């Protein structure tokens, strides 16, 4: 499908054209066509229910059967064939209230929602947080992500990179608001599960209790499946639990959210390794019909340098973090060298500091700007005292008496950009030097450990040593065996695993119910359509992204307490009010175009509307120039721009942000509302050359008509 065409909109326009060109001469035929048009219009406006689809088909069939004129029959046949051909797109419009092409303005999704791998309806929950409805916000999030609290603390938040407010000043703290809502709802005990569907008797076994597996378990349990999760470790949560350190993601957070999933009837068997504690045969004999492999990527890439395997003290980052997470809080050594520039390297380094290591250095072969780790985390690591050695390539591990004593490195410089635009680190000859370290932590990437999966003989593996699945059905080469998470994608993020788990649950359900798998790419679902907050342009501009309080640096260096202390309620409410509500305003720029090019007023300065090359934005300038003619509001395809008369003033607002407010004038005769004085001045100036109108009197058009009608009336005396 061409991503720029929307079948619903196309049919909408075709029927409109047929209605307008007069080819439907028969009145009944026109009536039917109008009814079809109204139904298609509903679909494109997000007002349609499930019955709309069948009704459109039925009406089209009526047109064909009645066959009143050839044009009627032709239209009926066309509509029936077209709707049938694009059935999935129509149903998707009806069910998801999303038109990914943006051709149906009311269904155009916000960029943040499109950027979220899990497709969370971000504008809706941000608004609910601002309204103080935390439990509702959580239930909106959990339609797409059963771990709002976890993701509220450690998500990579690609949504914030796409945030339109970021084009104006700073992006909305989308992640932090999610964490805030989850904490509030959990504390108020209003964080609740939705009602699961009736038990359908099917048993599914999920191998691996990480974010991918547990998410699939959650959505399968909601659909009535009996789900059992097999987890090799003594704790549930996978990499969330044993990969992400506690100071970023407290254990209680994972425990509480996993418990919510368990309370839906999901059984989690800990300390159970497939191939050792249970076998596929034993599981099949328990009655499991479907298997979901969600084993994650718990292996580490090796440095492939001499000495790596010869000395004690070389601990891969993933093993190290797992050991610490499972309770081993012994100091690994005094001087630590962590190799790598990703988030795992930073996590390992900061964990070492907290365990009492005296000096922790991160060795990275490129420069600061090229580090894949998040900027904030690098800054926090620096604050805590982690030192960085950039442009440093490890060459050999040195040791004595079986213990590592240091790592030989060479310095590097960046090459000129190659064909792909990347600058490669090139070793500098003769720059060998030794960095002292009794602990060396390689953190250069993770791989999947396939041990235990041998029993799934037909499962196919890719060259990258990940499980090969069909991208839509999530099924492996083996019937009834599905896979998800890092085991499929390679090491990725929590939210990507969650997105995969949700997709797998839906694919498994379709597989067992015999429902056709979707042919079109998945689109996020618009869960709610909430009103916006009303606030003046100056406040909307002045509100700043709040700075989150952090634990003191001393505590950060000695304890595993959570570093980010969260927003307070006022900060969260204000932050949610900064949202530009891109679910309502689709940034088509029609308002700016009309004000500038058609009216010649240039009262709207909304540079942020241009996503790729944003210009200056000044919400306050509108009040100085706008004449309140309302052309922008009239032409807004979604009702984001509104002009209303309230309390004697005419107000222009964009998604609730009041851009202009002018005092109204009233008709001298009947008291009806006229426009504001600035609007009249504009007209008077334009018609000055014709002749003055109404001698400066302010009367409404009704009264103007009545008065001139009276002047022309001939009431004659009756004939004698």
Residues at the contact surface with another protein, assessed by CB under 8 A = 594, 598-600, 629-631, 634-635, 674-675, 679-680, 682-683, 686-687, 689-691, 693-694, 700-702, 704-706, 708-710, 712-720
Q: What is the 3-state secondary structure (H, E, C) of 80-96?
A: HHHHHHCHHHHHHHHHH
Q: Residue holding tokens 């219009």?
A: 41
For 382, the token pair is: 């620096």
Q: How far is the CB of 671 from another protein (least distance, A)?
A: 16
The nearer residue to another protein, 558 or 672, going by C-beta atoms, is 672
Q: Residues 20-25: contacts with CB within 8 Å, 24+ apart?
A: 23/71, 24/69, 24/71, 24/72, 24/75, 25/69, 25/71
Q: How far is the CB of 62 from another protein (least distance, A)?
A: 24
The nearer residue to another protein, 91 or 664, going by C-beta atoms, is 664
The nearer residue to another protein, 455 or 631, going by C-beta atoms, is 631
Residue 475 dihedral angles phi and psi, to the nearest 5°: -90, 145
The nearer residue to another protein, 208 or 676, going by C-beta atoms, is 676
Please tell me whether residue 71 adopts helix, strand or coil conformation: helix
Q: How far is the CB of 654 from another protein (least distance, A)?
A: 17
Q: Return the sign of the alpha-carbon dihedral for residues 601, 605, 608, 612.
A: positive
Residue 229 dihedral angles phi and psi, to the nearest 5°: -110, 130
| E strand intervals along 445-488 | 446-447, 481-483
Q: How far is the CB of 691 from another protein (least distance, A)?
A: 8
Given a contact cutoff of 8 angstroms between Cβ atoms, the answer to whether 315 and 441 are in contact is yes
Rounded to the nearest angstrom, the gap between the alpha carbon of residue 17 and the centroid of all alpha carbons in its chain is: 37
* Residue 587 to residues 146, 535, 594, Cα–Cα distance (Å): 31, 19, 14
Give dist(CA 98, CA 528) in Å, integer: 11
For 638, the token pair is: 């979604």
The nearer residue to another protein, 495 or 699, going by C-beta atoms, is 699
Q: How far is the CB of 630 from another protein (least distance, A)?
A: 7
The nearer residue to another protein, 203 or 680, going by C-beta atoms, is 680
The nearer residue to another protein, 479 or 716, going by C-beta atoms, is 716
Nearest CA to 467 out of 500, 515, 430, 425 is that of 500
Which residues does 106 contact at the CB level (< 8 Å), separation at least 6? 44, 45, 46, 637, 638
The nearer residue to another protein, 649 or 682, going by C-beta atoms, is 682
Nearest CA to 392 out of 406, 378, 402 is that of 406
The nearer residue to another protein, 371 or 629, going by C-beta atoms, is 629
Q: How far is the CB of 632 from another protein (least distance, A)?
A: 9
* Helices and strands: H and E segment counts in the chain: 28, 22
Q: How far is the CB of 532 from another protein (least distance, A)?
A: 21
Rounded to the nearest angstrom, the gap between the alpha carbon of residue 58 and the centroid of all alpha carbons in its chain is: 37
- What angle in degrees, to the nearest 10, is found between the helix axes of 87-96 and 7-20? 100
Q: How far is the CB of 69 from another protein (least distance, A)?
A: 21
- Provide the β-strand partners of residue 500: none
Give dist(CA 658, CA 637) in Å, integer: 19
Q: How far is the CB of 667 from another protein (least distance, A)?
A: 11
The nearer residue to another protein, 131 or 693, going by C-beta atoms, is 693
Q: How far is the CB of 105 from another protein (least distance, A)?
A: 14
Other CB atoms closer than 10 Å to residue 161's CB: what's the count? 12
Helix ranges (DSSP H) in 385-493: 486-489
The nearer residue to another protein, 423 or 706, going by C-beta atoms, is 706
Given a contact cutoff of 8 angstroms between Cβ atoms, the answer to whether 613 and 596 are in contact is no
Q: How far is the CB of 41 from another protein (least distance, A)?
A: 13
Q: How far is the CB of 713 from another protein (least distance, A)?
A: 4
The nearer residue to another protein, 405 or 635, going by C-beta atoms, is 635
Give dist(CA 391, CA 369) in Å, integer: 11
């Amino acid at each position: 499908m061409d991503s720029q065409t929307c079948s619903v909109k196309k049919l909408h326009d075709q029927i409109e054209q047929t209605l307008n060109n007069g080819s439907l001469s028969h009145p009944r035929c026109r009536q039917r066509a109008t009814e079809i048009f109204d139904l298609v219009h509903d679909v494109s406006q997000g007002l349609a229910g499930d019955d709309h689809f069948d009704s459109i088909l039925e009406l089209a069939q009526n047109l064909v059967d009645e066959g009143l004129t050839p044009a009627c029959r032709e239209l009926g046949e066309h509509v029936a064939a077209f709707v049938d051909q694009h059935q999935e797109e129509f149903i998707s419009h009806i069910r998801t209230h999303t038109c990914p092409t943006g051709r149906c303005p009311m269904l155009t999704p916000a960029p943040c929602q499109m950027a979220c791998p899990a497709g969370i309806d971000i504008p809706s929950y941000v608004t609910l947080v601002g309204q103080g409805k935390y439990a509702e916000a959580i239930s909106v999030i959990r339609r797409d992500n059963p771990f709002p609290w976890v993701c509220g603390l450690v998500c990579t938040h690609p949504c914030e990179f796409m945030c339109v407010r970021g084009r104006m000043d700073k992006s909305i703290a989308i992640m932090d608001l999610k964490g805030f809502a989850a904490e509030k709802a959990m504390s108020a005990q209003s964080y609740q599960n939705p009602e699961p569907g009736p038990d359908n008797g099917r048993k599914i076994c999920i191998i691996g209790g990480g974010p991918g597996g547990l998410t699939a378990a959650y959505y399968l349990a909601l659909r009535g499946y009996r789900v059992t999760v097999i987890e090799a470790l003594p704790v549930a949560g996978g990499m969330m639990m044993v990969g992400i350190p506690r100071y970023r993601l407290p254990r209680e957070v994972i425990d509480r959210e996993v418990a919510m999933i368990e309370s839906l009837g999901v059984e989690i068997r800990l300390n159970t390794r497939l191939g050792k504690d249970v076998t596929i045969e034993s599981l099949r004999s328990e009655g499991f019909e479907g298997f979901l492999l969600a084993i994650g990527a718990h292996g580490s890439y090796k440095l492939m340098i001499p000495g790596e395997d010869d000395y004690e003290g070389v601990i891969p980052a993933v093993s190290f973090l797992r050991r610490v997470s499972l309770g081993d809080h012994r100091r690994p050594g005094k001087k630590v060298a962590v190799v790598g520039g990703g988030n795992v390297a930073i996590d390992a380094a900061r964990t070492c500091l907290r365990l009492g290591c005296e000096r922790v250095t991160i060795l990275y072969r490129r420069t600061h700007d090229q580090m894949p780790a998040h900027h904030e985390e690098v800054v926090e690591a620096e604050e805590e005292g982690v030192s960085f050695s950039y442009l440093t390539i490890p060459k050999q591990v040195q040791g004595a008496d079986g213990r590592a004593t240091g790592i030989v490195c060479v310095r590097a410089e960046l090459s000129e950009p190659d064909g792909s635009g990347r600058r490669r680190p090139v070793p500098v000859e003769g720059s060998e030097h030794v960095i002292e370290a009794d602990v060396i932590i390689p953190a250069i990437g993770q791989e999947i450990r396939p041990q235990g999966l041998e029993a799934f003989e037909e499962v196919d593996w890719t060259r990258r040593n990940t499980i090969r699945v069909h991208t839509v059905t999530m099924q492996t080469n083996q019937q009834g065996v599905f896979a998800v998470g890092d085991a499929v994608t390679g090491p990725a993020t929590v939210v990507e695993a969650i997105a995969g788990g949700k997709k797998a649950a839906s694919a498994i359900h379709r597989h067992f119910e015999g429902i056709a798998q979707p042919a079109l790419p998945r689109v996020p679902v618009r869960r709610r359509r909430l009103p916006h907050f009303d606030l003046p342009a100056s406040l909307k501009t002045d509100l700043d992204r709040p700075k989150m309080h952090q634990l003191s640096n001393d505590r950060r260096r000695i304890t595993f307490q959570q570093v980010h202390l969260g927003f307070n309620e006022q900060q969260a409410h204000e932050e949610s009010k900064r949202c530009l509500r891109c679910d309502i305003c689709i940034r088509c720029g029609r308002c700016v175009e009309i004000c500038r090019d058609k009216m010649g007023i240039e009262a709207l300065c909304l540079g942020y509307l241009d996503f790729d090359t944003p210009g200056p934005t000044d919400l306050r300038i509108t009040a100085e120039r706008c004449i309140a003619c309302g052309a922008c509001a009239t032409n807004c395809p979604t009702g984001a721009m509104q002009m209303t008369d309230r309390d004697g003033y005419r107000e222009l607002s964009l998604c609730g942000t009041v851009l202009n407010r002018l005092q109204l004038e009233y008709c001298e005769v009947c008291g009806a509302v006229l426009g504001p004085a600035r609007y009249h001045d504009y007209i008077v100036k334009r018609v000055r050359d014709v002749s003055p109108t109404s001698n400066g009197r302010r009367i409404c058009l009704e009264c103007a008509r009545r008065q001139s009608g009276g002047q022309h009336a001939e009431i004659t005396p009756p004939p004698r």
